[in-house]
């Protein structure tokens, strides 16, 4: 019987999580109850939201309990089935977590057709990150042709899709990323009109130059100085879908200073801004549209994507740290089983 | 020839405006150009937004220039007409400003029928404040039956209408006001389910008691501690139309402290809040619906209103100070001509 390696939340992290918080250890092999299947994890998705699940406070969802396996979306192979609709060898999208094997109810899984698209895309452009971009930009941001859309974390799994969708809508698309090579990819591969490195000393001047008509839609994933710089340049009636605040996820203390909430709310009022926090899972009624549209865009070469695939569950913690620091280049995925098909 | 008393913005105020900033003086009598009429002001509306117009910074609209007459909506009598559609004796809604006489293009005026409703209501429940409540609550707040709606400045010109509209929608309606007698009126006359005095020492506990199921819609007009207390109690998917921030209009310095903008944005994200700043004049396409609906509600006794009518243009500055302090009881209006009909 193979060993079931698991990454356990051993204690809640303060600041950046590390291998004292997230411990790889041997756990029990799962068994399938009636209606369930046993899954062998091929690919594990690593996503920024996971940092929130490590905290005790209520977020969208209940936190992971201390001592439990870290949660996460997976592409897996069915190795044993007690569910009528799935057979060994089937490839499925599920929520197996940071471990080699998991049991899951068959009806909670979606079978993937490897002939249709690389199966890893179910964790990225055809999965949660792509759907986040689709709902957040199109339904909440409501960009109109000719408007300027600024996308934070533009080279990331969500941002790369947001910008391309905005381009399809006929917008001027300006990305913000944290490295020059990311910016080159954002404009080169993903076709954004401009991309600015927020670590540049001339970040604000470059943002001015890239947005001569101001900013109509800001897709917010990062917070911090990018958010502050964008807020200075928003137009009347700007829309700000708030998808994440990764710059703050590891923050343990708030900076001192003037109370910026008061002038911020004044700006919301005077500029008639719309801010809206969202999570894709509240919008599942749009999934069929998304899968249809995105499938077509991919087939017709309208959307490009990049995945950053790291080998080995034993590297998940350091890869996750890199994700929070912005080291990844595209959608971050752990290849858990070494012989996984694409 | 009667004298044209005018209140001039003599200098931009710092903090609370007073009679050194807003000076009553004799000015020239206006003359009607072709297509214009001369108006005798009967009633002048005083509204919180006017504080913003006294500042130099860009707000919704251009500021009043130093040396100019303060702007404001008026109900006036036509005393001379060079416009085909209006004759002397007609009563009109216009934007005559803080003065006894004004000239205006006839097409910028709306004729009022004194037989249909008291003409002062064109400045209140049937005018800009009522329309602000209608658009802000119904279109942006989108309250559903059974939800809890909290209304700041609940006894004010806008708040009193917001709460009654929320009641018509079948919501639990909780007002917040700054005096016990206001609260009694809010529950007694306007029929809110509860009203809390934000100056009470037990304000937060009382808000908890009044909102056992949390807060789904917050109609924001005041900012300050009311906003802070509400934000602690909002439910997932709460909607916050932002109509004003009167607690901050005279603020000259921001408080020091932690940066509250960061946790605020975190809450927007995690609770999937919708914030939206608005001004009624961006939604004029809804005016016909508003006039029809509100006219019917008034005729059928579904909506009550209170006006706080102060005699004399010479009292406009002190009345406006009182408005910013919360001294008014209902829609604040200056009766400029002593013999004005109702």
A80-100 average pLDDT score: 97
Residue B235 placed within a domain: yes
Please check whether residues A188 and A244 belong to one and the same domain: yes
User: Which of the residues B257, B275, B282, B284 would you substitute to probe the A interface, choosing the one with the greatest number of A C-beta atoms within 10 Å?
Assistant: B275
Chain A closest-CA separation from residue B62 CA (Å): 12
Residue B341 lies in a domain: no
> pLDDT grade, residue B191 (50/70/90)?
very high
pLDDT tens digits, A155-205? 999 999 999 999 999 999 999 999 999 999 999 999 999 999 999 999 999
Across chain A, what does the average pLDDT equal? 95
- Note whether A24 contacts B: Cβ–Cβ < 8 A: no
User: Model pTM?
Assistant: 0.91
User: Is pLDDT above 80 for A74?
Assistant: yes
B198 and B279: one domain?
yes
Q: Which of A52-66, B181-195, B239-253 has the highest mean pLDDT?
A: B181-195
User: Which pLDDT does position A177 carry in this prediction?
Assistant: 97
Mean pLDDT of B332-341: 90
What CA–CA distance (Å, rounded) separates B6 from A56?
A: 62
| pLDDT at residue B58, rounded to an integer | 63
The answer on B155 and B85 residing in a single domain is: no
Same domain flag for B110 and B136: no
Q: What is the mean pLDDT of residues A296-306?
A: 94
> Do the beta carbons of residue B95 and residue B71 sit within 8 Å?
yes
B132 and B100 in a common domain: no
d(CA A129, CA A120): 12
Mean pLDDT, residues A300-323: 96
pLDDT of A289 above 80: yes
Cβ contacts of residue A10 below 8 Å, gap of 6+? Answer: A20, A21, A22, A23, A66, A67
Would you state the structure tokens that stand for residue A243, as one six-digit string? 């998808």
Is the model's pLDDT at B342 over the cut of 80? no
- A250 shares contact with chain B (CB less than 8 Å): no
Position A103 in a domain: yes
The mean pLDDT value for B215-243 works out to: 96
B338 pLDDT above the threshold of 90: no
B116 & B135 share domain: no
Per-residue pLDDT tens for A4-14? 999 999 999 99
CA distance A173 to B16: 43
Nearest to A265 among B58, B223, B282 (CB): B223
- A118 and A156 housed in the same domain: no
Burial of A103 (0-12, 13-18, 19+ CB in 10 A): middle
**What CA–CA distance (Å, rounded) separates A70 from A18?**
13
Q: How close A219 comes to chain B (CA, Å)?
A: 12
Please tell me whether residue A108 adopts helix, strand or coil conformation: helix
A103-119 pLDDT, tens digit per residue, is 999 999 999 999 888 99
Over residues B22-67, the pLDDT tens digits come to 999 999 999 999 999 999 999 999 999 999 999 987 667 789 999 9
Q: Is the pLDDT of residue B217 over 90?
A: yes
User: Is residue A14 within 8 angstroms of chain B, CB to CB?
Assistant: no
Give CA–CA dist B224/B178, Å, rounded: 12
Residue A289 located in a structural domain: no
Closest CA to A83 of A108, A103, A109, A106: A106
| Residue A163 pLDDT | 98
Best probe of the B interface among A52, A266, A274, by most B CBs < 10 A, is: A266
Given an 8 Å threshold on Cβ–Cβ distance, is A257 in contact with B255? no
What pLDDT sits at residue B255? 81
For B:33-52, CB contacts with A below 8 A are 52
Name the pLDDT band for A58 (thresholds 50, 70, 90): low
- Alpha carbon distance B151, B132 (integer Å): 13
Q: Does B279 touch chain A (CB under 8 A)?
A: yes
Judge whether B290 lies within some domain.
Answer: no
Residue B174 lies in a domain: yes
**Chain-chain contact of B282 with A272 (C-beta, under 8 angstroms):** yes
| Contact criterion met (CB < 8 Å) for A242 and B248 | no
In a shared domain, residues B138 and B279: yes
Smallest CA-to-CA distance from B238 within B207, B261, B210, B270 is with B270
Tens of pLDDT, residues B65-107: 999 999 999 999 999 999 999 999 999 999 999 999 999 999 9
pLDDT of residue B1: 62
Instruction: State which residue of chain A sits closest to B246, comparing Cα positions.
Output: A266
Residue B342 lies in a domain: no
Q: Which of B254, B270, B277 comes nearest A268 by C-beta?
A: B277
How many interface pairs between A and B have CB atoms less than 8 angstroms apart?
119
Kindly state whether B256 is in contact with chain A, defined as any CB-CB distance less than 8 angstroms.
yes
Question: What is the pLDDT averaged over residues B249-268?
Answer: 86
Quick one: average pLDDT of B190-198?
Answer: 98
Number of domains forming the structure of chain B = 2
Q: Regarding beta strands B110-111 and A74-81, do their DSSP bridges make them parallel or antiparallel, or are they unpaired?
A: unpaired
Q: Does B232 lie in the same domain as B193? A: yes
Kindly report the CA angle at B269 between B267 and B275, in degrees rounded to 5? 80
Strand-pair partners of B176:
B196
Check residue A54 and give its pLDDT.
95
Which residues from chain B sit within 8 angstroms of residue A223, using beta carbons?
262, 265
B191 and B243 fall within a common domain: yes
Q: Across the interface, do A277 and B261 touch by the CB < 8 Å criterion? A: no
What pLDDT score was predicted for residue B253? 82
The alpha carbon of residue B271 is apart from the nearest alpha carbon of chain A, in Å, by 7
How big is chain A, counted in residues? 342
CB A102 within 8 A of CB A96: yes
Select from A237, A245, A265 the Cβ nearest to the Cβ of B269. Answer: A245
CA separation for the pair A231, A241 (Å, rounded): 13
Asked whether residue B296 is domain-assigned, the answer is: no
CA atoms of A208 and A184, how far apart (whole Å) = 19
Shared domain for A159 and A96, answered yes or no, is no
- What would the mean pLDDT of B169-178 be, rounded to a whole number? 98
- Look up the CATH number of the domain holding residue A69: 3.90.180.10
The answer to whether the CB of A215 falls within 8 A of the CB of A175 is no
pLDDT at B73: 97
State how far the Cα of A69 lies from the Cα of A83, in Å rounded to an integer.
Answer: 24
pLDDT in tens, B302-317: 999 999 999 999 999 9
Q: Strands, E, within chain A: which ranges?
A: 4-9, 22-27, 36-45, 74-81, 91-94, 101-105, 110-111, 148-151, 172-177, 194-197, 215-219, 234-242, 256-258, 274-277, 307-311, 331-335
Provide the ipTM: 0.90
- Higher pLDDT: B116 or A220? It is A220
In terms of residue numbers, what domain contains B158?
A: 128-283
pLDDT at position A70: 97
Question: A276 CA to chain B: closest CA distance, Å?
Answer: 4
């Amino acid at each position: 019987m193979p060993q079931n390696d698991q990454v356990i939340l051993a204690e809640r992290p303060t600041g950046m999580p590390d291998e004292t918080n997230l411990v790889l250890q041997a756990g029990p092999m799962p068994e399938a109850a009636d209606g369930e299947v046993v899954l062998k994890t091929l690919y594990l998705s690593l996503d920024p939201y996971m940092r929130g699940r490590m905290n005790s406070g209520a977020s969208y969802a209940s936190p992971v309990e201390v001592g439990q396996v870290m949660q996460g979306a997976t592409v897996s192979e069915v190795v044993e089935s007690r569910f009528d609709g799935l057979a060994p060898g089937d490839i499925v999208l599920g929520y197996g977590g940071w471990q080699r094997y998991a049991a899951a109810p068959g009806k909670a899984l979606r079978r993937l057709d490897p002939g249709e698209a690389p199966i890893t895309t179910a964790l990225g452009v055809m999965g949660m990150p792509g759907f986040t971009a689709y709902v957040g930009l199109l339904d909440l941001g409501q960009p109109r042709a000719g408007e300027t859309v600024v996308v934070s974390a533009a080279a990331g799994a969500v941002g790369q899709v947001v910008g391309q969708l905005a381009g399809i809508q006929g917008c001027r698309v300006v990305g913000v990323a944290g490295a020059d090579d990311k910016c080159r990819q954002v404009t080169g591969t993903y076709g954004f009109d401009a991309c600015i490195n927020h670590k540049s000393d001339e970040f604000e001047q470059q943002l001015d130059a890239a947005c001569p008509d101001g900013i109509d839609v800001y897709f917010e994933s990062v917070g911090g100085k990018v958010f502050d710089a964008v807020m200075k340049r928003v137009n009347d009636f700007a829309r700000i879908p708030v998808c994440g605040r990764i710059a703050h996820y590891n923050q343990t203390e708030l900076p001192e200073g003037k109370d910026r909430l008061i002038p911020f709310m004044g700006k919301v009022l005077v500029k008639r801004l719309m801010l809206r926090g969202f999570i894709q899972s509240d919008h599942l009624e749009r999934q069929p549209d998304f899968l249809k549209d995105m499938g077509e865009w991919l087939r017709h070469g309208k959307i490009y994507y990049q995945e950053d695939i790291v080998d080995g569950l034993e590297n998940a913690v350091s890869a996750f740290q890199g994700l929070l620091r912005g080291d990844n280049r595209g959608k971050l995925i752990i290849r858990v089983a070494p012989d996984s098909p694409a």
